[in-house]
Every structure is written in C-alpha cells, then in structure tokens.
Amino acid sequence: MIVQITNLSKKIPDGSFQRTLLNDINLTIQENEIVAIVGTSGAGKTALLRSLSCLEVIHEGEYTFNGSIHIVNLPESGLANMRRLYMGFIGFEPEFIDNMTVKECLEMPLSALSVSYNEKKNRIIDILELVGLTSKLNNSISSLQYYERMYIAAARAFIKKPILVVADNPCKQLHSAEALAFLELLTTLSREYGGALVYSTYDPAHLKKVNKIVYMKDGSIIKVTP
C-alpha cells in the first residue's frame, strides 16, 4: 500500500467562518493502481489531489506514504523533498520555465536522483519515443502545441520512475479524442515506469481503464467502486 489516508479534513478561512474543503477522507491506494477521482466542480477533487501530492500542508488526519512516511505536519521543506523524490504532478495547465527546451525540462526531475549522464540521456530518449515527440528534443516548450505540452508534462512526471503520479483534471482543455488518447498514454506510462496514477475527471468516458473510482461531493467521499 503506497497511500493510506485516515480521517483527513481540510478547512480554510472564509470571512468569519471556516469553509470545509475536505471532510473526514479515508482512502487507500495500492502500488501501480490507477484511480479516478470523480465529482462536479466544488466536490473537493483538487483539494484531495493537492494533499495527496504534498502540494499543501496537512494538519488534520493521517496520511502514511509508502508504508512508513508520515506526511501530516511535514514542513514545506519536507513536502518539497517528497515531491522531488517520489511524486509526479500533472495539471491541466502545466507550468514550465520560459524558454526551456524539452530536453532541459526532462533533465530537471532527474537532477535530484543519482542518475549517470548516460542513463539520463537514455531515459529522455526512451520516454520521448514513448510519447511520440522524439523530434521535439531541442525545441522550446513555448513552441509546442497545447497537447504536446501536456505530453511533455506527462513525460516529466514519470521520467524519474515515481511511486505516485497525480493529475488534476488533465483532460479539461483537450477534445474528446485527445482526452482518451492522453489517458491511454498515462496508463502506458504508469505501466512502463511504475507508480500509481490518480487523476480527476467529471467525464464517465474517462473511467474505462481504472482500477478504482472515488466519487466525491461537497468535500466528502460518497462512494468507492473497485
């Protein structure tokens, strides 16, 4: 088991009140499992994914990662270390450094690992072949089409062979055929590079190849189907 979350809750100030983003979440994720988080806008999908991927500090509940690492109350430096070594993240509007090339983008997540120059070079070549963008190696990210940037974001998330990859509504700005192709790519990357994959969606067509579906409403998990 790589993720075990127990009674996780998250609230934020809202005027003189507290607004609940997550309410008593309980969730487990197994090694190499593919999980879809489903719900309408405001259901809590993004809040849960940001907590899962150590993008935000958790103060209430328990989160055990990879069987022994306790995430709750880790400082930002500890969360950054978790992200750098063990996790990948894909947003629907992926962030890149201006003027960075595809090669430089894919080198960055490998810099924290003990990877030789030859292995780094081979990993970049291999993953670009898998995503079908070998010819773009030396292109700037800004020159790519949107779907190509999403493919590079996926490659960046998986290239270090993470334990967990989280994708927040990755198909939001893709057409239906593009979305299905992208989810197929994520499934292939998860199989080839290891790591569980968790992504959010609101489209039933995006649930065909998952192992588990987590339905959310108003910050709570209302149903889980294997």
| Rounded distance between C-alpha atoms, residue 160 and residue 62, angstroms | 27
Amino acid at 140: S
Q: Which two tokens stand for residue 32?
A: 């190499």
* Residues 206, 208, 211: CA angle, nearest 5 degrees: 110
Q: Tell me, what's the pLDDT at 183?
A: 97
Count of structural domains, the chain? 1
| Rounded distance between C-alpha atoms, residue 19 and residue 22, angstroms | 9
- What percent of the chain has pLDDT above 90? 86
| Rounded distance between C-alpha atoms, residue 111 and residue 17, angstroms | 43
| Rounded distance between C-alpha atoms, residue 51 and residue 53, angstroms | 5
Report pLDDT digits (tens) over 63-86. 999 999 999 989 999 999 999 999
Report pLDDT digits (tens) over 84-123. 999 999 999 888 987 899 999 999 999 989 889 999 999 9
Q: Is the distance from CB of 78 to CB of 95 less than 8 angstroms? A: no
CATH code, domain with 154:
3.40.50.300
**Is the pLDDT reported for residue 2 higher than 90?**
yes
**14 lies in which domain range?**
3-225
Token match 């993470």: residue?
162
Average pLDDT, the chain: 95
**β-sheet with 164-168: strand ranges across:** 87-91, 164-168, 196-201, 34-38, 212-217, 220-225
Report pLDDT digits (tens) over 18-71. 889 999 999 999 999 999 999 999 999 999 999 999 998 888 999 999 999 999
**Is the pLDDT reported for residue 174 higher than 90?**
yes
Q: Tell me, what's the pLDDT at 30?
A: 97
CA dihedral 28, 89, 56, 97 (to 10 degrees): 170
> Following DSSP, what letter does each residue of 98-153 receive, concatenated?
TT-BHHHHHHGGGTTS---HHHHHHHHHHHHHHHT-GGGTTSBGGGS-HHHHHHHH
DSSP bridge partners of 70: 64
